[in-house]
């Protein structure tokens, strides 16, 4: 910045307390509008936080599922033990199969209990073990198609579960969420900037006498403008933080709801998701606040 | 420090407030500007602090050529001036102390010194008992003295006081004029406009400029 030397920097630092007090005074003088702006930005950033979390979640799920180059083959219930062992052996000899292994009922139950973690109590609602034994077939991903057709054609195999269909559907959802994400990011950007720049303009207007006096006394524009930048930063970042808190609770609630009916979905860790989302939203809201108040300042200057 | 040659000021509505003014004020001078109401005294001060610019003629203040479009230089110039506005222009909702300090915050003064100097300035104008009073609750005369304190606390090179005694009783007025006179030294000039010619003390006077109908009609050396 032109003319931004050491003296000015020192003067600026000396006045931080004053700037903060000024920003608070400006907010207090027009409290209703400021509270309204705060709630609008909170709502806007909440929507953004939820869409972004959804996007991340679906991406994470896709990644996990994609990594599992594995299919499950279920067999006829009447099959004898030795037939099952034979079946597993013949599966092992198919080209493209890495390993086929029998997973018993109890093991299937135990695995699910592990996936559910502390939510495993839901399994207690079942009277019998709801899981069947099946053959778990680890395969080479690129030979998925031929292996699938081989195995489904085998005698005794009643049903083959692969995750392609699920993956496709998830891809579709992730695509929609991504598109929605871009739309929402754009909408959030524009509306935050409009709200913040508007409130700053309003603040400048109601302080115009004071601003004029400061100009007559020779105050640099920077000195006059900074409290307003702080006001915008504060409003927007406070809105962002509130939104993160709200979104945090909503995500916790959603996880609890999803753990019941959809326990097999490999969701990312709640803590990581909320922390990342929080950092992103608060950072974004702070930037938007600063840009918005700059816009308010420059538009107020033109008139 | 102030040099005016053939300066005219014509307002947007066509009013000619100043007409062909020649003026010279040197460092360390105490100058009074007198004249009837509407004669152009305030307009002259407005030119000196770049609130208005000459419509014609040339004007230099503290070495700065007064022309529009030198915003940064103009702000720098204003920081060297201690203005006392006719209508005070105090910042509402702040205490007397905060008002005086606000005039100094963007000057290169250490924060502790700002507080100290603001306090001393308020004591000098006789407002030691009103430091934390909000300026809305002050009388006219008290507000005027806060405005004077704000100007002198800045330790400016040029004090421009517009009717600084307009709302004061004779005793207070004399004290203020004496205070302003005491500020003049080799580096500081003091320019005061006033109707109250009877309060002017000839011993504290270097120049008396009379304005009438936008013209400097008489200049007398003290
Ligand atoms: N902004 C303005 N626009 C138009 N005319 C103005 C403006 N300001 C002042 N005037 C006119 O210019 C003339 C000089 O005004 P000025 O304020 O300089 O007088 P003054 O000598 O300070 O008077 P007073 O002693 O009453 O303060 C007056 O006729 C006034 O009406
Ligand atoms: Mg006047």
Chain A and chain B share a number of CB contacts under 8 A equal to 53
Whole-structure pTM value? 0.78
B89 vs A223: CB contact, 8 Å cut-off?
no
CATH code, domain with B140? 1.10.8
pLDDT < 70 regions, chain A: 1-7, 66-69, 141-142, 260-266, 302-303
Mutate to test the interface with B, among A26, A206, A217 (most CBs of B within 10 A): A217
DSSP alpha helix (H) spans, chain B: 41-48, 71-78, 96-102, 111-124, 140-153, 170-183
pLDDT tens-digit profile of B167-203? 888 988 888 898 888 888 878 899 999 988 888 887 7
| Residue closest to A288 by CA, chosen among A243, A234, A242, A248 | A234
A18 interface with B at CB cutoff 8 Å: yes
Q: What ipTM does the predicted assembly reach?
A: 0.93
B75 vs A210: CB contact, 8 Å cut-off?
no
N-terminal to C-terminal alpha carbon distance within chain B: 18
B83 vs A216: CB contact, 8 Å cut-off?
yes
pLDDT < 50 regions, chain B: none
**What was the pLDDT predicted at A29?**
85
| Residue closest to B154 by CA, chosen among B104, B89, B90 | B104
A9 interface with B at CB cutoff 8 Å: no
Q: Which secondary structure element, helix H or strand E, spans residue A247, and what is its range?
A: helix A221-259
**What was the pLDDT predicted at A286?**
94
Concatenate the DSSP letters of all residues of A181-206 into one string: HHHHHHHHHHHHHHHHHHHHHHHHHH
Question: Containing domain of residue B87, as a range?
Answer: 83-155
Q: Is residue B143 part of a domain?
A: yes
- Number of domains into which chain B is organized: 1
- Which residue's C-alpha comes closest to atom 16 of ligand 1? B40
| Residue extents of the structural domains in chain A | 2-65+171-302, 70-139
Ligand 1 site, residue B40, Cβ cutoff 6 A: yes
Closest ligand 1 atom to Cα of B46: 18
């Amino acid at each position: 910045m032109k003319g931004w030397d050491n003296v000015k920097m020192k003067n600026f630092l000396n006045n931080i307390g004053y700037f903060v007090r000024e920003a608070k005074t400006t907010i207090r003088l027009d409290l209703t509008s400021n509270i309204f702006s705060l709630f609008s930005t909170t709502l806007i950033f909440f929507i953004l936080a939820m869409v972004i979390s959804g996007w991340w979640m679906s991406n994470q799920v896709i990644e996990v599922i994609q990594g599992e180059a594995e299919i499950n083959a279920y067999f006829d219930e009447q099959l004898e033990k030795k037939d099952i062992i034979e079946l597993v052996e013949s599966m092992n000899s198919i080209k493209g199969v890495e390993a086929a292994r029998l997973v018993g009922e109890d093991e299937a139950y135990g695995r699910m209990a592990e996936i559910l973690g502390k939510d495993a109590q839901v399994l207690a609602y079942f009277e019998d073990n709801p899981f069947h034994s099946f053959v778990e077939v680890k395969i080479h991903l690129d030979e998925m198609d031929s292996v699938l057709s081989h195995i489904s054609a085998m005698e005794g195999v009643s049903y083959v579960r692969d995750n392609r269909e699920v993956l496709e559907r998830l891809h579709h959802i992730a695509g929609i969420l991504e598109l929605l994400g871009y739309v929402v990011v754009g909408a959030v950007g524009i509306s935050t900037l409009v709200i913040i720049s508007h409130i700053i303009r309003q603040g400048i207007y109601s302080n115009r006498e004071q601003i004029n006096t400061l100009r007559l006394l020779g105050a640099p524009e920077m000195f006059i403008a900074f409290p307003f930048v702080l006001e915008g930063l504060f409003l927007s970042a406070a809105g962002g933080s509130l939104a993160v808190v709200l979104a945090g609770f909503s995500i916790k609630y959603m996880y609890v709801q999803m753990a019941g009916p959809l326990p097999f979905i490999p969701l990312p860790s709640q803590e990581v998701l909320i922390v990342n989302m929080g950092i992103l939203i608060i950072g974004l809201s702070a930037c938007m606040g600063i840009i918005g108040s700059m816009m308010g300042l420059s538009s107020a200057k033109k008139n | 420090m102030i040099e005016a040659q053939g300066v005219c000021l014509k307002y947007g509505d066509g009013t000619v407030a100043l007409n062909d003014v020649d003026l010279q004020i040197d460092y360390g001078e105490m100058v009074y500007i007198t004249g009837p109401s509407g004669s152009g005294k305030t307009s002259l001060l407005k030119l000196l602090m770049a609130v208005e610019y000459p419509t014609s003629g040339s004007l230099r203040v503290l070495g700065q050529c007064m022309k529009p479009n030198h915003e940064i230089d103009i702000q720098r110039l204003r920081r060297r001036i201690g203005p006392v506005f006719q209508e005070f222009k105090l910042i509402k909702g702040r205490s007397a102390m905060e008002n005086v300090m606000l005039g100094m915050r963007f000057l290169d003064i250490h924060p502790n010194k700002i507080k100290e100097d603001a306090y001393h300035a308020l004591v000098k104008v006789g407002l030691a008992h009103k430091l934390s009073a909000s300026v809305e609750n002050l009388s006219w005369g008290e507000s005027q003295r806060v405005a004077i304190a704000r100007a002198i606390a800045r330790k400016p090179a040029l004090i421009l006081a517009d009717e600084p005694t307009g709302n004061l009783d004779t005793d207070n007025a004399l004290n203020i004029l004496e205070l302003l006179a005491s500020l003049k030294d080799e580096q500081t000039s003091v320019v005061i406009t006033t109707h109250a010619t009877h309060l002017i003390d000839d011993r504290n006077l270097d120049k008396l400029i009379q304005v009438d109908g936008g013209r400097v009609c008489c200049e007398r050396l003290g």
